[in-house]
Chains A and B, each alone.
Chain A
Amino acid sequence: MTVLRLPPFDLIAPRTVAEAADALAHHGPSARLIAGGTDVLPNLKRGLAAPDVLVSLAGVESLRGIRPAADPRPSANGLRGPTRPPSTGAPEGITIGAATRLNRLMADPAVCQSFPVIREAVSQIATPTLRRMGTVGGNLCLDTRCTYYNRPALWREGAGDCMKHEGDVCRVAPGGERCWATLSADLPPVLVALDAVVRLTSARGDRVLALGDLYRDDGLTHLTLAPDEILAEVWVPVWGSRAAFLKLRPRCAVDFASLGVAVAVDVADGICRRARIVLGAVASHPLRVPAAEAALCDRAPDATAIRAAADAAYDAARPMDNADQPPAYRRQMVRVMVARALRAALGQPPSTR
């Protein structure tokens, strides 16, 4: 079988996070991290990047594993969600090492019990073989994708390069100033909806920030991660919410999302106290829709509220013509799938039909 060739590079295989951080600091922007390689290697083979050095996290044991943990934020007390149960001494959440394989995450009993939505989302990523290689950190840091970018070299020669690779124009929206490549990873919308927190590490020290703040709506540099920083772990709070994730794609396996919808809701005494509605694959970052969340909160999450939330999400979503399935269709599906996801999270029948 003919395989595309990798460009030459030096491989550094540190055993500790500190060594990995030092390697990044030493080599600067000419180095790239690699964990499972399921995103990095195809891009290298297509000539989309040519780092001199790959720093592999495969041998860094401390980045693997799932364990109960308290909120890593220094001022965590002030940030706790309003419906979080009073402390009973039970763990406040779980921490997932960034190099944890996706198939391990799916199979973890604590994750399955506390966060069935994570299992649901991960089970829809790529294929079983890719989930054995791909990691949580890799999925969270997945490069943005575009039908003008993730293409072979000859194809790009025919189309002309785009600003994401050596060009100066976005082929999706040539009149604009920005790159519209899409974040189509499945875990980011889910974990943003769950108010996850990430810890970043570098030779300069650690940073802890809300997962949502790891992203920005720019296809070129969609991560706020500095070039010398490593995503070390993600902490997910257990706050008793009900959550759901739905993924739109042409096929029931392999395909990246053409739309992802993650919702999390807290309902007490029939009133929705808190809601998170986050869309994947319609922007360069996980798109939280505050207007849709507001339409649900402080009232009963009935059909009217769900419809209002779905309408608000539809209004906010502007998918571009750079992923599977036509953008107009994907936008229409925002309304349908937000409503369905909310009904699923609320334990209501999937369709109003």
Chain B
Amino acid sequence: MSTPLAVIGQRLPKIDAWSKVTGTARYADDLPLAGALCGRLLRSPHAHARILGIDTTAAASLPGVAAVITGRDLPIPYGILPISQDEHGLAPDKARFVGDPVAAVAASDDATAERALALIRVDYEPLPAYLTVEGTLGDVAEPIHALRRPGNIHKAVALAFGDVSAGLAAADLVQSDHFFYAGNTHAALELHAVVAVSDPAGHLTLWSSTQTPHYVQRALARALDLPASRIRVVAPALGGGFGGKTETLPHEVAAAKLALITGRPVKIRLTREEVFYSHRGRHPMHIALTTGVKRDGTITAMHLSTVLDGGAYASYGVASMYYSGALQTVTYRVPAYRFDGARVYTNKPPCGPKRGHGTPQPRFALEVQLDKIAETLAMDPAELRLRNLVNEHSVTVNHLRITSCGLRGCIERVVEASGFSNKHRRLPAGRGVGLACSSYLCGAGLPIYWNGLPHSTVHVHADRTGTVIVQCGATDIGQGSDSMLAYVTAEVLGLDPADVRLVTADTALAAVDLGSYSSRVTFMAGNAAMQAAERLRDLVLGAVAATTGLDHAHLALRGGRVVRTDHAGDVMPWAEAVAVTEARGTPASASGTYAPPPLAGPYKGAGVGPSPAYSYSACVVEVDVDDETGQVRPAEVWLAHDGGRALNPTLFEGQIEGGVYMGLGEALMEEQRFRGALHTGPSLLDYKTPMSVDMPVIHPIIVERIDPEGPFGAKEVGQGPLLPVPPALANAVYDAVGVRIDEVPITPDKVLRALRQRARGGAPRFGPKGHPPITYPVVVSVDPPAGAPGT
């Protein structure tokens, strides 16, 4: 950009800020629909049970009940990933976890719907329940799903890139550890809600609290056996998602079916309890990690093994499993890498993607292990990381292309801001600091279902009032993607963001965008919007040039006007320029698309991990640890994030703060726990997320390493900043009291047990002692690409 940016980089309000703070934003549950029926789901109280029969007679004959459906009404399975279509809107043959929906009713009001549910008789044959990873391995009497392989192993893989044995043999220090990262859930403030309407012309419309309208449309078409062209999915204002609303969920399918049967609008709103069962959150993960280093800290090889406790359905699980191994190589040079991964089914609510999808767990392991290695080598933890940094514009041993990387700047900034070097190993007992780094995707390089189409398309139209309309399926879940589209468009067209109107998150009125997941929207929809706006700019300026005789090359859009760049001069207002364009018989409209470059490596599973760019984070956490109670209180957090250009620094910092908040929650208390098959507390009183008074001071630090392919050089900031927080906190606990907690969450009882164990002469550690006894498949060796570390 030769001219200074007018919109990009400014601390502007979000374009929907007013509607949010004044309460006028309409969420799915706010939609008033005359004659709407209340839908409710009947859920299984059994963890694993065959459904022998369901008697809906009494429920269906209750006055006020419009329809009762069961799994028989929804026989077609669906699933977010083409390779694992194992869900039904309502379980037809087996219930697979406590909370699995087996029937649904639509009634005139909530009370009637509840009474109807109580009248449905389900004849269950309880089956053995598989609740732990260990319990699902080996022979199982009643597999949760009919799989080709024995037992409940959903998916397993073993990949080797380069010579790992030789790398470990060449190391001066080989560090091996076992870690466990507990499962946790999104806990978005807005509960899931959907309104489904079918009309006699054969159109089905869903307003749903979803992050992915396009995928919901696809799955509904399949599950309901309807043409996708007759289905419209709209995401109204969303109160957060964090990954919990990134696939079609049973209540959406049930509402649609009930609307089709009754011909009336049907609204289903989940309770908080039901949202805990809907889940799709962080997988509990068992991790074994071995890393070899030279005496100077240089990494020689790494071997990571993971087992994911997947819960009852596939969800994104195969991708989650691959993600647990994919991104270990994008922060530090790893010349030889082996990854063994497996996901098992258990009779618990299904796990899926949550902020950081599959990567916070192995990131925790790696960053804690590096802290241990740094101590053994008597090296500064920051220095150890700086010595191993990946190179910009390089390729990793597992075929991931790296473009911009600002991790060095992130580390230097947090170390300086926090005073890490003067504090680490020097603070009084009970106080400590810890450092960790991380990296994340800027959008998945490949779509969920195989196709060669754009990942995002944007249409831009201008009219003679000067108004610009941007149409894009991108879904603002609160992260600010609508604002991003307005900023990018306004910047290119020299307008105020308020001149831009948005039509988004609507499969009928806007072009396809794959959805708000994998931190893809700024990079992909942003690039598509930029291209569309540039094409519109060129069209309009071309028309102005042709009409005025001025040289197109010397025209620009600035401050709402067409201006000359060759010498000072104002040509005409933007609205007039649009009119000039229209007068020439050309609509003032243009489109842009974005598809990532081909990025996948030459091996099975290579589709998970590639991204057009990676963001980088470094974090320092300072804690107080009470050695009598084991309580850990984070005192301050510094987090520097390279998200490329900060399109709006205020929103950028907000995402850092949100990531730190969620990361601290996972590190300290959040856990989707079960007592047998039962969630220990499906409510926000029992499921602990930090309160405002539990939060420390957060210092967000923006590091702008301009990415050559991002819109205005932007990358992502929505997910990455969560990742380094849990390991930085664990490392700080060690610095404070000298015990390693190799398990998340780090609760006071675990800290105290480690302290007491040390006092009795035992290991100063709490964490798993081994890895689940799983047999991974035969390893597939993949040649590293030319130019990768070690080649």
Contacts and interface: CB of A to CB of B under 8 A. Distances in A.
Contact of B694 (A152, A252, A340): A252
B110 A5 contact: yes
Interface stretch (B179-187, B391-399, B539-547, B681-689): B681-689
A328 B753 CA distance: 11
B46 A158 contact: yes
Given A152-B682, A155-B682, A329-B752, A251 B629 contact: no
Interface string A113-156: 00000000000000000000000000000000001000110110
Given A154-B43, A154-B273, A251-B688, A5 B669 contact: no
Nearest to A156: B45
Contact of A250 (B669, B675, B677, B678): B669
Nearest to B189: A1
Nearest to B626: A351
Interface in B428-447: 429-430
Given A251-B694, A333-B629, A353-B627, A2 B193 contact: yes
B19 interface: no
Contact of B678 (A4, A159, A253, A254): A159
Category for how many chain B residues contact A: 35 or more
A335 B686 CA distance: 25
B678 A325 contact: no
A312 B764 CA distance: 29
Contacts of A254: 685, 691
A336 B629 CA distance: 7
B273 A152 contact: yes
Interface centre among A2, A4, A324, A337 (most CB of B within 10 A): A2
A248 B683 CA distance: 20
Contacts of B693: 251-253
Interface in B537-588: none
Interface in A140-193: 147, 151-152, 154-155, 157-159
A109 interface: no
Contacts of B628: 336, 340, 351, 353
Interface string A309-346: 00000000000000011101100110011001000000
Contacts of B736: none
B690 A251 contact: yes
A69 to B, nearest CB: 35
Interface string A1-22: 1101100000000000000000
B45 A326 contact: no
Contacts of B683: 152
Contacts of B45: 154, 157-158
B314 to A, nearest CB: 23
B622 to A, nearest CB: 18
Most chain B CB neighbours (cut-off 10 Å) among A152, A154, A324: A154
Contact of B752 (A4, A158, A332): A332
Contacts of B685: 254-255
Interface string B266-287: 0001111100000000000000
Contacts of A340: 628
Nearest to B691: A253
Contact of B269 (A2, A151, A325): A2
B368 to A, nearest CB: 23
Nearest to B753: A329
Contacts of B271: 2, 4, 152
Nearest to A159: B678
Nearest to A335: B628
Interface in B192-207: 193
A147 B681 contact: yes
Q: Quick one: which of B269, B686, B692 has the most chain A CB within 10 A?
A: B686
A5 B682 contact: no
B748 interface: yes
A343 B678 CA distance: 41
A157 B29 CA distance: 28
Contacts of B690: 251
A311 to B, nearest CB: 15
Interface in A242-277: 248, 250-255
A155 B277 CA distance: 11
B206 to A, nearest CB: 17
A324 B680 CA distance: 10
B68 interface: no
Interface string B638-680: 0000000000000000000000000000000100000101111
Contact of A2 (B46, B270, B682, B688): B270
B281 to A, nearest CB: 18
B191 interface: yes
A335 to B, nearest CB: 9
A255 B684 CA distance: 10
Interface in B93-135: 98-99, 110-111, 114
Of the candidates A151, A152, A155, A251, the one having the most CB atoms from chain B within 10 angstroms of its own CB is A155
Interface in B130-188: none
B375 interface: no
Contact of A155 (B47, B273, B691): B273
Contact of A154 (B99, B675, B686, B747): B99
A170 B144 CA distance: 31
Interface in B683-737: 683, 685-686, 688, 690-694
Contact of A5 (B114, B630, B675, B752): B114
B273 to A, nearest CB: 5
B749 A250 contact: no
A254 B675 CA distance: 23
- Could you say which of B99, B270, B629 has the most chain A C-beta atoms within 10 Å of its C-beta? B629
Nearest to B631: A248
B29 A2 contact: yes
Contacts of A329: 630, 748-749, 752
Nearest to B269: A2
A158 B691 contact: no
A158 B678 contact: yes
A252 B632 CA distance: 12
Nearest to A321: B675
Given A250-B669, A254-B691, A336-B629, A5 B749 contact: no
Contacts of B270: 2
Contacts of A255: 685, 688
B683 to A, nearest CB: 8
Nearest to B98: A158
A155 B681 CA distance: 9
A158 B46 CA distance: 6
Contacts of A159: 678
Nearest to B114: A5
A28 to B, nearest CB: 27
Contacts of A5: 110-111, 114
Contact of A326 (B193, B681, B688, B749): B749
A336 B626 CA distance: 11
Nearest to B272: A2
A144 to B, nearest CB: 16
A157 B191 CA distance: 23
Contacts of A157: 45
B536 to A, nearest CB: 41
Nearest to A126: B685
A155 B679 contact: yes
Interface of B: 29, 43, 45-47, 98-99, 110-111, 114, 190-191, 193, 269-273, 429-430, 627-630, 669, 675, 677-683, 685-686, 688, 690-694, 747-749, 752
17 contacts: A1-B29, A1-B190, A2-B29, A152-B271, A155-B678, A157-B45, A158-B47, A158-B98, A158-B678, A251-B691, A253-B693, A255-B685, A324-B688, A325-B747, A336-B628, A340-B628, A353-B627
Pairs of residues from A and B, 8 with the lowest C-beta to C-beta distance, nearest first: A329-B749, A2-B269, A157-B45, A158-B45, A253-B691, A252-B693, A152-B273, A158-B98
Given A158-B677, A250-B669, A254-B685, 14 more contacts: A1-B29, A1-B191, A2-B191, A5-B110, A5-B114, A147-B681, A152-B683, A154-B98, A155-B679, A251-B669, A324-B686, A332-B752, A337-B629, A353-B627
